Structure 1
Amino acid sequence: MDVIGRYRLQEQVGAGAFATVWRGYDDDLDVDVAVKVLADNWASRADVRERFLSEARLMRRIASDRVVRVFDLGKLPDGRPYFVMDYVDGGTLADILAGGPVDPADALWWGADLARAVAALHAEGVVHRDITPANLLLRPSNGLESGGGTHRIVLADLGLAKRAAEASGLTQAVGTPSYMAPEQGRGDGGFDERADVYAVGAVTYALLTGRAPFVVSSISDVLGRDPDSNPPSLRPLLHDAVGQLDDLLARALAYRVGDRWQRADTLAEHLEAEAYRLEQEAPMLASARTAAGDPDAVDTTIRSAGTTAHPGRRQWVLAALPVLFVGAAVATWFLLGR
């Protein structure tokens, strides 16, 4: 299959149980696109086809650049539906996590950016239900957004997303267990936008530590968690710079919905504040790691200087240093010459 509609297929970029995603090219518009095609083994299932098409319609209706936008829909000769989306070429947050935990301040910027994206989804009355690193795409920043960094998070894969008014009536547990809120795992329909807030907390914790906050391999593990338990402390990673982070993330990951942050944008504000704080304390943090004999101290310091995909303002500061040195030299020459 080399062509779908007017789109020339370039390479397969993703595959799941229900669909395959291709990078294609639109010759008419002269742009790369992403083409999602229903898997042939589900083509005869009317319910699966409808869910596939519902995802396309939902993504099309959401007016936010933080959600992948659908702009075309069609059928293959064999009758399978497909839809065409903007191609986001910055990889996924799962690619970032493949390299292990990222610099703590960067991790919090990523978490805050994710929370802002989720808040945009909630503003449209939609609950995602499957926020995982693999479903979070990265696009280049336009340089005008807050928080610095070279990329922004874009939500994708809304196959499980539902209108908030519909979510309370769902009676099947779906999602990825490691990032799934307990109330979602029960499958009794008793969940809302705060299930996504939990997932934001879980992804942020994974960025900080390289692992999910709780040992979970199945929905049974989600349901069997002690309601009073908290994720392991971040103190071994951050030492005295941990600040309020343990409490902040424990609240995001609270078992009881009422104990959790109630809105994604509120969580975003707290993550942004902690990111700013850690940036100010970065020299102290590096010294603490070195003093503790952390074998990753040097690598972490290098990554915090701008080698991660989300370097923040530190990259700008490093780029400006040569200019500052030249300016100082010129000033010295001028003063001595007089």
Structure 2
Amino acid sequence: MHDTPEPQVSEQQEPDVRPSMSSLVGELLSGRYRIEAELGSGGMGAVYRAEHTLMRKRVAIKVLHPEMTQHTEVVERFEREAMAAAHIEHPNVAAATDFGKLENGSFFLVLEYVEGASLRDVLQQGPMHPRRVIHIGKQIATALARAHGLGIVHRDLKPENIMLVSRDTDPDFVKVLDFGIAKVPVSQISKEAGKQHKTLTKVGMVYGTPEYMAPEQALGQDVDARADLYALGVILYEMLVGRRPFEADNPVALLGMQVTQPPPAFRQVAPGLHLPQEIEAIVMELLEKEAARRPSDAKQVRDVFEILEQNLDTSSWTEDARSNVSAAMSLTHAPTVFEGIASAKPRAPSIASVMARISAWSSQLAQTLRAADAQAQPHRWQAALPAPLRTLKLSVWLGLAAGVGMLALIVVIGIVWWVRTPSTVKPVFDETSWASPPVASSMQNASATADPQQLEKAVKAGSESIEQLLTQFPNDPAVLAQVAKARLGGASPDTCIEVYDKLFSLDPEKRKDNAVLEDVLGALTKPSSQEVVFSLLESHWGTEGPDLIHDLAFGKRTTTAAIASRAAKSIKSEAARKNASPALLIALDLRFNGGCQAKHRLLDRAREHGDERSLTQLRGLLHAKGCGFLGLSDCWKCMRADRKLNDTIKAISERTKQ
């Protein structure tokens, strides 16, 4: 088995060559483009606003610096950008209309001139309304669907490359820009060009922007359309919450987070945010670490956005809306445990079993049709159906559902759909994992909880029984807590992390639940689960997690010396600091910043955020001895220059009553 090669950042993207090309403003390019103004420039080239002198049409022109023509890969990527933008031909993609070479040897690319605001500029104003996010997201997915249909993968989708322009009555019409590092199947687009071009991306090379890279992209592996969908998930997260799911000052650390850490739940980073859980579920599906668990088709994502947009236009988020979205989501990806579908490989169903379930499905459909206002809102019940069946009229469905004699026809339709549907989106026909008829969403039972005696019986029976109970009650916090505990103590303790994430997204207060805390802290004594526990506390337990690590490290919680030592290492980690409260951060900085002047500079922060943990550190600075010969010198002499230390201690003491 071959190891995955270490990713390398491609140095060929930005060759270390200083541009010497002077501004082209005022010149006539290729006999027809009058350069009006320079819009921006960099090490690779410059972008200009120009006018086509014959058509009187404004355009944007990218011009490579002449020095860049010495770098074959740069030129070939420039050509591929032109090829991609020219062939996509979609309203939501900035089109390329011309490509050529100047007399000085440099190349130019003529693009549609897009005048508006970048999504990055809009995000500076803070989180966006969900309706606006879905409207923009649907258009991005539509553009990606067109590109992916041609085999083109953008690989650098980010807010800077998405423009919002005013078009007719839509102030947020999307234009996707910059296919400069796109993966372009040249041989498919142009047979002649394909003979002359070679593959530019080598295994192990990393192209893109770390904040928006899919895990496989960060590892330098081959990517497909699902990498763009991951980037779309990051963008949606940022639009809804106001920040990206992963943030770090160090690009290498950021890439590591993309590969290993699950995205924090919306409420974890924005406690005041209230969104239908289906919206968050869609974003989290796009952010799956494994490409196979993400939607594979941007068209399916677009369809889900379409349903969301329709239902968000109503005055309330109804059960019908939840059913529609959940049904559409079930067609975009492989089933997950939280949808109540077992992850084990399905057994071959018996004919009787299939017949019984199709009969139940048709009965449920009849009830749904009778209850719904089908004439006013036909799309709601149709959206819940498998795609090949949506075109049948209401009268046909009523006839099928009402007549027992027509059951055979329903069986035939079901078999046809089964044969034509990819295995990743088929319902699982087995006794343990069938959650409900297709039109009945698991989301509709979101509030269902297990009977306490039923849960107690499952706990006594063991982990297998608890996992089975989860398929029936996927959103019951009590069941989730028991499943998480069982997995943490099992053979694969790291599988508990996704369950705890689900638990805390449903009930954030569970982070403070003593029973849950004791389950996790008790697992610290097992070497097989210790690292998982610290990972949970660092990255998945909100601000309470780093607080617990601090208490383990510095004696507030009784533990072994080995665990305390490991906790002292954990509390210094980037993940723990990222999730720590301001009160804990200042206490840690006071503890670990050694010099007098460094600690003195922290006093203002300590006065504002400090608690009893900071007081312990600050009161130690009052001692005027302890350093030098026989410990007679003042370790903290700079603190005596003013009353700032005393005033800070007094302010914290009064605020915390310590």
Q: If the length of structure 1 is used for normalisation, what is the TM-score?
A: 0.74
- Amino acid across the alignment from 1:152: F
Is it true that 1:9 corresponds to 2:44 in the alignment?
no
Alignment-derived partner of residue 130 in structure 1: 156
Which stretch of the first structure deviates more once superposed, 120-129 or 68-77?
68-77
Is it true that 1:194 corresponds to 2:226 in the alignment?
yes
Q: Distance in 1 between matches of 2:252 and 2:142?
A: 27
Shift, 1:226, TM fit: 6.5
Residue pairs, 1:291-310, within 5 angstroms: none
Q: Distance in 1 between matches of 2:142 and 2:63?
A: 29
Shift, 1:96, TM fit: 1.5
- Amino acid across the alignment from 1:232: A
Q: Which has the higher strand share?
A: 1
Any unmatched runs of 5+ in structure 1?
A: 144-148, 284-338
Q: Contact conserved, 2:211 with 2:254, CA < 8 A, in 1?
A: no
CA displacement 1:172-208 (0-9 Å, x = unmatched): 111011111010010032x211000101111111111
> What's the RMSD between the two structures over aligned residues?
2.6
Q: Which has the higher helix share?
A: 2
Alignment-derived partner of residue 256 in structure 1: 290
Alignment-derived partner of residue 212 in structure 2: 179
Aligned partner of 1:159 among 169, 180, 200: 180
- Amino acid across the alignment from 1:19: G
Partner of 1:238, secondary structure, is coil
Shift, 1:83, TM fit: 1.3
Q: Distance in 1 between matches of 2:210 and 2:96?
A: 28
Alignment-derived partner of residue 221 in structure 1: 254
Residue 226 to residue 7, structure 1, CA distance change in 2 (3 Å): closer
Residue pairs, 1:307-326, within 5 angstroms: none
Q: Contact conserved, 1:97 with 1:210, CA < 8 A, in 2?
A: yes
Partner of 1:20, secondary structure, is strand
Shift, 1:65, TM fit: 2.5
Residue 83 to residue 162, structure 1, CA distance change in 2 (3 Å): same
Partner of 2:86, secondary structure, is helix
Q: Distance in 1 between matches of 2:150 and 2:167?
A: 23
Residue pairs, 1:15-164, within 5 angstroms: 15-142=41-168, 149-163=170-184
Alignment-derived partner of residue 345 in structure 2: none
Alignment-derived partner of residue 236 in structure 1: 271
Q: Distance in 2 between matches of 1:224 and 1:151?
A: 32
Q: Distance in 1 between matches of 2:126 and 2:67?
A: 36
Residue 74 to residue 228, structure 1, CA distance change in 2 (3 Å): closer
Q: If the length of structure 2 is used for normalisation, what is the TM-score?
A: 0.39
Is it true that 1:277 corresponds to 2:311 in the alignment?
yes
Q: Distance in 1 between matches of 2:101 and 2:151?
A: 29
Shift, 1:153, TM fit: 1.4
Q: Distance in 1 between matches of 2:93 and 2:234?
A: 20
Q: Distance in 1 between matches of 2:69 and 2:286?
A: 39
Q: How many residues align?
A: 277
Q: Contact conserved, 1:227 with 1:256, CA < 8 A, in 2?
A: no
- Amino acid across the alignment from 2:266: S
Alignment-derived partner of residue 300 in structure 2: 266
CA displacement 1:90-132 (0-9 Å, x = unmatched): 2322222122222221012111111111111111111110001
Any unmatched runs of 5+ in structure 2?
A: 1-23, 189-198, 318-658
CA displacement 1:301-327 (0-9 Å, x = unmatched): xxxxxxxxxxxxxxxxxxxxxxxxxxx
Shift, 1:24, TM fit: 0.8
